[in-house]
Structure 1
Amino acid sequence: MIELETESGMADTMAAKLAGVTQAGDEASLSDARHRVRASLFGEDPNRPKRTIGRFTLLQRLGEGAMGEVFAAHDPELARKVALKLVHRDRSDSEAARARLLREAQAMARLSHPNVVTVYESGTHEGRVFIAMELVAGVDLRTLFGGEHTWRRVVEVYRDAARGLAAAHAVGLIHRDFKPENVMIGEDGRVRVLDFGVARAGDDWVPASDSQGTARGDLLTHELTHTGVLLGTPAYMAPEQFTTGETSARSDQFSYCMALYECLYGRRPFVADNLRELMEAHRAEARVPARSEVPRAVAAVVLRGLKADPSARFPSMDAVVAALDRCLAERRRRQRQLALGGLTGGALIAGYVVAAPPLAGDPCVAGEAAIAAVWNPERAAALGEGFSHSGTTDAVKIWQRIAARVDDYTGAWARGHADACEAGKITGEQARRVAELRMACLSDARRELDETLKVLARAEPGMIFRGVQAIADLPPLARCADSEALLAAVPVPADPQVAVAVEAIRARATEARALRRAGLSARALDEVARLVVEAAAVDHAPLRAELDLLAGQLEIDTARFDAAATTLERGFWSAVDSGHDEVAARAAVALAGLVGGRQAALEVGLGWARAAEALIRRAHLSSALAVALRRSKAQMLRVAGQPERARGELDAAMVALRAAPEVDELDAAALLRELAGVALDQGKPEEAAELIEQALGHARAAFGEQHPEVGRALRLLGNSFYFSGRREEALRTYEEARRIAELAHGPDHPEVGDALNGVGATLDELGRDDEALAAYETSLAIRRKHLGENHPDVAGSLGNIAVTLAKLGRHAEAERVTRQAGSILRAVHGEQHPEIATNLLHLANLAHVGGRHAEAAELAREAVAMFTASLGPEHPDVAYALSALAFILLDANEPLAALEPARRALALRTRANPDPLLVAESQLRLGEALWLSGQDRDEARELLRAARAGYAAQAADRVAGIDKWLNEQGVEK
């Protein structure tokens, strides 16, 4: 009766094809001890088979620490080197220890941040835990700062390390062993925190000293660099780690400031030879040397982090990062003032520098002018004026929110440009190349913003309400600071003529993307279709892949699903062939949601998801894309009737989202809505309502009270009320959603039609059938006008109308409308799709009501087969079809034939997370079939009594009818 709202956003052989690898058999390997002895005595035997751990082939041993050995290894799936840590047996000598270490590694794998080493995979090998992670070519901070260095360089590097720690803390991970050796700076200049070897996800830490059999007195005399007896390296540990064993984000902060102090001042703040002396030294306040070039503001940050009382330290590592940022910014500001003073002979002349023309060839000055040309007070005023005269409700308030987001974006752009300018002054070919790529990336982002503002300047009503989202959808500027990703990008064509043609087409594609951001996908698709034709004449496969990706996304927006699948697959393989990994990954993510979700081909969809995962990991793509992939997987798992797995994907997506430097209200609201949809799938409408209330809070903060996005969340809240039986609340909520949509768009907008569909469903349940039919028919008229005849939403309205017509006794009309809906669904989805199976069940019910039992049974069997083929034999919808078939056969006086479908339906419904009412229905059907067929009266009696009890608890109004049948059949209650 009601359509659940979902967010839109090949098997493993595809991933193998993508990576160019084949499956290898198991390889024999020596034990760890024998291998080490043989290698030390005789060296490597070239004839000995390569040693493997999981799928990884070990290449060389890099070192050993308290936690385990580290190897360089080859990952055949992603065709690259990794670092593989094999944890010592004494660290994972029990199931509990292994499970803890694996949980910890899995938590790290969910964390994607540029300043944290990436964990790819974890598992066990011969009883030992292994962790495969990013292999960083570079030096640790102890080595990096072994010679002379400036305080600024130290603070800049350690500030990036602090960002990595903050990201780990955001997902519940504590490092517990931060020290200079556990931070590396790669050849690409990026700082990464690594070796969370003693980190623990959660709060279940138990002091290790007792479990190691070490007396407390012995510990107090332990050397300060020893690791393993306590969790952490004692010289850097916080006081509370010695006294209570307590570890937290603030104990990590203490370790961090200890390492930063040591690097800035060349010695540690607390002098001690053993743990007893160190614990006594911690009682005193740390002091900095009397003479030092380190600014007092920096010293104050470090000393606060070294406070013995954790509550006196900074509240978080984010606060430490902010404090260090202020120190760096303040010094730059003072240096700039001094420089200006020198230019003017010691007296600043107001306006002199501003009035002077920019220096020719200075990219930093040119950058300031470039972003000012795109976003300036004059343009902001003109756009604001256009919004205010649009006649759209709350247009001025919406513009203020848009302008604030543009301010943030251009501010971040300016900071990124300044950083790129500084990087461009570093000597070295690779450094100059990275600086050029950063500038090009920022230039592209500026152009995307410019085109989006041009589209918003039209101030069309529907576009106004898309404005906030349009700015949120601009390219993330963090990608312009990712050196590794920039260096891996597809280069421009070597042929100058081809390069010019490619650039011209890409510029026009920017216009099409701006139209899509503003919700004008149909217009954008027309433009991209022309660009695809032009690009066919240009010999540049990456460009064709980019256009296919954009065209496929627009085809999904406009419900051209079959065409989108073809276009996206073509774009995927073009991108793979040309090494355009980001485009290939985005196409695979879109295909996963489209094929696995909308088209309900789960295995194929999961194959696309696997391909996307491989590409995202191989190319170090953004965490935002990884979140999008999890949302696509959740969508397909919901369609496949696996809400628990879908919930797991969305929970992981939420963890990744919260680990981002800044959580956008829009992203949070979207994920919460999808989690609410899963809760409805799980039969938890009250939980869904709580999640939607949270989403509403985010939506109202981002958009205001009267925005259509708030109305969309209200429709989903109406669904939760509907399914929890709170019909009057559902009706009021749907009506409020309709009111907001009408206020924003007028009375015949598709969102008004969507709200009216919910109104109709609720009126239907309240027994107000004529009013329900009127609401459905208005919704259908709106949908037909805007979506065309062959759209799934049109079919949904027709299906609802048919059900209500049947309730009103207008069965011939109901059957005609149901067949009409089926024709639309076949045109959209083909011949094998769950929605077509549902349509067949409706036809079966109408044939059954009309006394055409044989036809009804055949239609129901066809629905069972279609659900099974498209969703799998364990899907809950298979049970619905089986139960309907059993009911039809019982009514046709064929109880023997009803036995098999009734038993299968009950078996499916009594598995994981059973719905008590559905179980009672299946018990009733099977009990009836057994009783009437005379097969097993004892089992029948037991099932019928259980069914009656189930109905008495869940739907008491049905008990009288059951009692009447039991009395007629002589069944004792």
Structure 2
Amino acid sequence: MPVPPPEAGDPLGKLLVKRALFPRRAQPVRLGRFNVLGLVGHGGMGVVYACYDDQLDRKVAVKVLHREVVREQENARRRLLREAQAMARLSHPNIVTVHEVGQVDDMVYVAMEFVRGQALDAWVQQSRSWRQILSAYLQAGRGLEAAHRAGLVHRDFKPQNAMVGDDGRVKVLDFGLARLHDDDLGEEPASGVQVGPAAALLMRPLTRTGVILGTPGYMSPEQHLGLRATAESDQFSFCVSLYQSLYGDWPFSTESFQALREDAVHGRVAPPPPRSPVPARVFKALRRGLRAEPGARFASMTELLAELERDPGAIYRRVAALAATAVIAGAGGVIATMGSAEVAQCPDARAELAGVWDGERAAEVGAAVRAKAPARAEEILAAIEPQLERYAAAWVQLRNDACRAHAEGRQSPHWFDLQTSCLEQRRAALDATVDAFALVEATGLDNLVQTVGELPSLATCADVEALTAAIPPPGDPSLRARVQQHRETLARAEVHEHTGQTRLGLQLVESVLADAKATTYEPLLAEAQLRKGSLQVRDGAAAAAALQSFDEALGTAIGSGHAAVAALTSSRRGYLLAYRLGRPDQARAELRLIAALNRRVTGDVAIYGEFLNVAGAIHSLAGDWTAAGARWEEAIALHEAHGRIETPLGIGILYNRGGQLLIVGRYAEAAASFRRVLELSERLSGPNYPDHAVYESMLAYALTGLGRTREALARMRELESRVASGENKVARLTVMLGLGQAELALNDGRAAMQHFLAAQRTSPENFSTREWAVLMRAAAAAGDVPAMEKARDQALAGIGEHTDVRSLRYHEVFLGHGQALASLGRLREALAPLEQARSVLVESDDPVHVARRGRVSLELGRLRGQLGEHEAAESELRAALADFEAVLSPQNLELADAALALGELALARGRLDEAAQWASRAASIYATTAEPEHAPWLQARALLARARGAE
């Protein structure tokens, strides 16, 4: 029996022929430790053999490099090693598993899982329905999705590079062209440049700019142009492959390579054949995945697969089926059978969260977090997993309740549609949030933890009044389905906003705005414009563009009667004006309009709560701390009443209120507020969430105001040990500032100055005018005149000619300058800046301004006393006491400070009884909150003893 000749390009072909001609001397052909059983087929760069692994008793597929495909053997070897590395780092049911890589003589091979089945292109030819084809490709797409999450790009996906196993499972193979999709990677170095070790091969491109790789029919425009391939390129190739399999033709011209290339590069996609059974929604998704610009495609394979899987008509078919069943049951009069019918019609909705939040997704999130933040992984997972599980459980319960209510005739089809639409949007937000754990960098995990806490409230979906009051959806069923689809897309874009992935979020919004037909429904257009503006606010360079988007959203929302969007847009627009665009007066002038728009949505905690928070912020920026505090108090009460205080927004409002209480000198209430912030934040985000350093520092400031400076210092030192080695420089900055403030309060100027200087070096961009003013005082307390003068110059530079003289910043700079000069003994010189700090507050009756005026008068009184100007000193000190008594609580230590200064002055003037009375009053106030070692309390007790001893 003649032996057939070896196939062309078969590296082992000659050996097989030779051993077949001499059977008595033949031994099995081996590749390393594998026995070759036969030739399976050819890949893009190699030949695949079926082999037997006698050590582990299993059949494997072994790929060996084509010797003639490349001229440089070393480069070819690196390619195959890259494939092995790419596949070995992936473990997914839709990716072929790599067992090992080895080399025999000059041949490199990769041993991998043997898949019994056929290539996807051959499988499609066997009279498959469009649903079967789509289902198979969804499996292949999940393999690509997993690769992208692991940081890999296939770069040569096509139907021949996926296998359909006999068990029906689809597996992607041939990652020979894979590379890491890191935006910072450069192209291949010029010849002669040394290539790193095998472990780093994935980090090196194998092509020089301008060289084209991949099968031309499936290549993306960027590959045709010789540009870098990305995850978006795989998405393009996937869509070409699925288009071809569904419609039996190519999406681009095949008259010539040039014609195909021109169509691909210019995004000219052929329409589907007439009377195709494939739904238009599938073609629409493919057309988007085949856009010429990578940024115009889906934000990820996850988004593409979700779009291909989703069937908007399913909701309406389900409604119709339920309604029909109810009619039949009613006509038959068999009331008793309703219960069993309901069970059949309403299966547990947990199945609708398959692939969104289930055991497999939980495991993926756990693996992603442990890979990105191994040191904090368990803390992060302990914070997020219960929240995600509770959200999913609540979603399932609401979905089940809605279905049962409809099936039993307790809920109208219209109400059922509204509730289902709301729940579908919430599911999209949950899905996007879970996806984000694989997409964000390690530095974005903390933002993502907050995003979990900010998942949109499910309560809205159960609120009959809120849903029925909302603008009704379009009457046309097809348009209604498209609007629902886009609303789910916007829900995903909101997640990208919260996680700082603004580019991805804006891509999703633009895909909604590009649908001219859907955006004829103006409420959807307003929602998209609002989301676009919110995303642009996150982009530091897009403030003006965000204002334009908000203006468009506000006009569209008011015109279409979309009260929720009008209210939310007005709040965000006001915040943008006040903070990002530096127009606080305009923002405050528009507060009346903003409040009017928000009065229409007072029942929506999220929207109205955001308005109250923004209104407080605008008032605070204008220096109206009383109005700011009132708004924040109202916001806290609202969140408390609805069980929403343990959310990122609720915690943020508590923090703002605590800051306002510090400003107005209500230190005990401020301390209580910050303690609650710390407690809630730890429960929501874990004990090492970066903002905890800020919360601890604010608590330390409050404790210092209560005369418990040593307690504050101890807390800050303990916190310093926790953040010292961390990468969060803002946290380190905050802790060092807190340490410096406490040390300055204890008159340790040298230690305080060192901490302030370290803070400035750590984060100079966040070291503000206020910090320079405090550093000026610390340097003076340390006796370092050059350092004091440098800090003074920096502080003065920060309050240019346009600074509002009523601002806290202006006041603190001149007050600090006067205190610094006094510390240096330059008493007469210190009077001028102190007078300047007070001059702008003389006519104001604002409580904060009154308290600030009192502090300046206290400093001036002390200085006048040291200068021997006793009458003037007493006048200043009594003015300070009067201001403090007018606006501060009776236990505020600044009252005691003024009483102590009056007692010291009385003793200096020989008024012993008066000195004892003032000392006694001061000591009684200090005793209410201060620690025993508080220096002014010690001074008050000493003054009392001197006054009584001298009698």
TM-score, normalised relative to structure 2: 0.51
Bigger mean CA offset, 467-476 vs 949-958: 949-958
Q: Is the 8 A contact 1:522 1:554 kept in 2?
A: yes
Q: Distance in 2 between matches of 1:396 and 1:383?
A: 12
Are 1:757 and 2:731 matched, yes or no?
A: no
Q: Distance in 1 between matches of 2:554 and 2:723?
A: 41
Q: Distance in 1 between matches of 2:940 and 2:634?
A: 44
Q: Distance in 1 between matches of 2:442 and 2:845?
A: 41
Q: Which residue of 2 aligns with 1:918?
A: 894
Q: Is the 8 A contact 1:631 1:650 kept in 2?
A: yes
Q: Is the 8 A contact 2:424 2:488 kept in 1?
A: no
Q: Distance in 2 between matches of 1:842 and 1:532?
A: 53
Question: Could you say what secondary structure the match of 1:799 adopts?
Answer: helix
Q: Is the 8 A contact 1:576 1:584 kept in 2?
A: yes
Counterpart of 1:725 (choices 685, 692, 707) is 707
Are 1:390 and 2:372 matched, yes or no?
A: yes
Are 1:372 and 2:346 matched, yes or no?
A: no
After TM superposition, list the pairs within 5 Å mapping 1:837-856 onto structure 2.
837-846=811-820, 851=826
Residue identity in the other structure for 2:813: N
Q: Is the 8 A contact 2:749 2:780 kept in 1?
A: no
Residue identity in the other structure for 1:840: F
Are 1:586 and 2:568 matched, yes or no?
A: yes
Q: Distance in 2 between matches of 1:581 and 1:655?
A: 23
User: How much does 1:476 deviate?
Assistant: 0.6
Residue identity in the other structure for 2:851: P
Q: Which residue of 1 aligns with 2:792?
A: 818
Q: Distance in 2 between matches of 1:900 and 1:534?
A: 71
Q: Is the 8 A contact 2:432 2:492 kept in 1?
A: yes
Are 1:769 and 2:749 matched, yes or no?
A: yes
CA RMSD in angstroms comes to 5.7
Q: Which residue of 1 aligns with 2:642?
A: 660
Q: Distance in 2 between matches of 1:830 and 1:553?
A: 29
User: How much does 1:465 deviate?
Assistant: 3.1
Q: Is the 8 A contact 2:513 2:528 kept in 1?
A: no
Quick one: structure 1 residues 889 and 684, their matched pair in 2 at CA, closer, same or farther if it must change by over 3 Å?
closer
User: How much does 1:753 deviate?
Assistant: 1.8
Question: Could you say what secondary structure the match of 1:389 adopts?
Answer: helix
Q: Distance in 2 between matches of 1:842 and 1:735?
A: 25
Q: Distance in 2 between matches of 1:483 and 1:453?
A: 29
Q: Is the 8 A contact 2:913 2:947 kept in 1?
A: no
Q: Which residue of 2 aligns with 1:331?
A: none
Residue identity in the other structure for 1:798: W
Quick one: structure 1 residues 541 and 395, their matched pair in 2 at CA, closer, same or farther if it must change by over 3 Å?
same
Q: Is the 8 A contact 1:718 1:731 kept in 2?
A: yes
User: How much does 1:602 deviate?
Assistant: 10
Q: Distance in 1 between matches of 2:595 and 2:843?
A: 28
Q: Distance in 2 between matches of 1:831 and 1:534?
A: 48
Larger Rg: 2
Q: Is the 8 A contact 1:392 1:461 kept in 2?
A: no
Q: Which residue of 2 aligns with 1:477?
A: 458
Q: Is the 8 A contact 1:532 1:548 kept in 2?
A: no
Are 1:908 and 2:890 matched, yes or no?
A: no
Q: Distance in 2 between matches of 1:952 and 1:570?
A: 58
CA-to-partner distance for each residue in 1:381-405, whole Å, 9 max, x for gaps? 2221111222432313422542332
After TM superposition, list the pairs within 5 Å mapping 1:436-475 onto structure 2.
436-458=417-439, 460-475=441-456
Q: Distance in 2 between matches of 1:340 and 1:584?
A: 40
Q: Is the 8 A contact 2:383 2:683 kept in 1?
A: no
Q: Is the 8 A contact 1:685 1:723 kept in 2?
A: yes
User: How much does 1:700 deviate?
Assistant: 4.1
Are 1:734 and 2:708 matched, yes or no?
A: no
Counterpart of 1:414 (choices 384, 396, 407) is 396
Counterpart of 2:762 (choices 779, 782, 785) is 782
User: How much does 1:449 deviate?
Assistant: 1.8
Bigger mean CA offset, 456-465 vs 914-923: 914-923
Quick one: structure 1 residues 873 and 638, their matched pair in 2 at CA, closer, same or farther if it must change by over 3 Å?
closer
CA-to-partner distance for each residue in 1:448-494, whole Å, 9 max, x for gaps? 22222222213533333344421120111111222332343346689
Q: Which residue of 2 aligns with 1:514?
A: 495
Q: Distance in 1 between matches of 2:576 and 2:914?
A: 42
Q: Distance in 2 between matches of 1:560 and 1:920?
A: 49
Q: Distance in 1 between matches of 2:501 and 2:804?
A: 24
Counterpart of 1:797 (choices 768, 771, 777) is 771
Q: Distance in 2 between matches of 1:606 and 1:684?
A: 25
Q: Is the 8 A contact 1:759 1:775 kept in 2?
A: yes
After TM superposition, list the pairs within 5 Å mapping 1:880-919 onto structure 2.
880-884=855-859, 904-912=879-887, 913-914=889-890, 917-919=893-895
Q: Distance in 2 between matches of 1:568 and 1:852?
A: 55
Q: Is the 8 A contact 1:597 1:635 kept in 2?
A: no
Quick one: structure 1 residues 433 and 960, their matched pair in 2 at CA, closer, same or farther if it must change by over 3 Å?
closer
| Percent of matched pairs sharing the same residue | 22
Q: Is the 8 A contact 1:641 1:876 kept in 2?
A: no
RCO higher in structure (CA 8 A, sep ≥6): 1
CA-to-partner distance for each residue in 1:40-94, whole Å, 9 max, x for gaps? xxxxxxxxxxxxxxxxxxxxxxxxxxxxxxxxxxxxxxxxxxxxxxxxxxxxxxx
Counterpart of 1:619 (choices 590, 601, 610) is 601
Residue identity in the other structure for 2:426: A
Residue identity in the other structure for 1:909: F
Q: Distance in 2 between matches of 1:444 and 1:637?
A: 34
Question: Could you say what secondary structure the match of 2:768 adopts?
Answer: helix
CA-to-partner distance for each residue in 1:636-681, whole Å, 9 max, x for gaps? 7778999898777666655544543687476776666566656656
User: How much does 1:877 deviate?
Assistant: 1.9
Quick one: structure 1 residues 584 and 839, their matched pair in 2 at CA, closer, same or farther if it must change by over 3 Å?
farther
Q: Distance in 1 between matches of 2:508 and 2:813?
A: 36
After TM superposition, list the pairs within 5 Å mapping 1:614-653 onto structure 2.
614-631=596-613
CA-to-partner distance for each residue in 1:823-875, whole Å, 9 max, x for gaps? 44659976752222222322344566685957953663355416967957854
User: How much does 1:904 deviate?
Assistant: 4.7
Question: Could you say what secondary structure the match of 1:911 adopts?
Answer: helix
- Unmatched 5+ stretches in structure 2: 1-335, 927-935
Q: Distance in 1 between matches of 2:946 and 2:541?
A: 50
Are 1:861 and 2:842 matched, yes or no?
A: no
Q: Distance in 1 between matches of 2:365 and 2:545?
A: 34
User: How much does 1:910 deviate?
Assistant: 1.6
Q: Which residue of 1 aligns with 2:469?
A: 488
Quick one: structure 1 residues 836 and 688, their matched pair in 2 at CA, closer, same or farther if it must change by over 3 Å?
closer
CA-to-partner distance for each residue in 1:544-586, whole Å, 9 max, x for gaps? 7656755776687788999799679847853445433223333
Quick one: structure 1 residues 870 and 597, their matched pair in 2 at CA, closer, same or farther if it must change by over 3 Å?
farther
Are 1:878 and 2:862 matched, yes or no?
A: no
TM-score, normalised relative to structure 1: 0.50
Quick one: structure 1 residues 370 and 512, their matched pair in 2 at CA, closer, same or farther if it must change by over 3 Å?
same
CA-to-partner distance for each residue in 1:900-946, whole Å, 9 max, x for gaps? 866654432122424565335556888999999xxxx99x9998775
User: How much does 1:762 deviate?
Assistant: 2.3
Q: Which residue of 1 aligns with 2:121?
A: none
Question: Could you say what secondary structure the match of 2:763 adopts?
Answer: helix
Q: Is the 8 A contact 2:421 2:484 kept in 1?
A: no
Q: Distance in 2 between matches of 1:531 and 1:941?
A: 81
Q: Distance in 2 between matches of 1:627 and 1:950?
A: 43
User: How much does 1:626 deviate?
Assistant: 4.2
Quick one: structure 1 residues 775 and 851, their matched pair in 2 at CA, closer, same or farther if it must change by over 3 Å?
closer
Q: Distance in 1 between matches of 2:509 and 2:872?
A: 55
CA-to-partner distance for each residue in 1:883-911, whole Å, 9 max, x for gaps? 44566677788888888866654432122
CA-to-partner distance for each residue in 1:120-171, whole Å, 9 max, x for gaps? xxxxxxxxxxxxxxxxxxxxxxxxxxxxxxxxxxxxxxxxxxxxxxxxxxxx
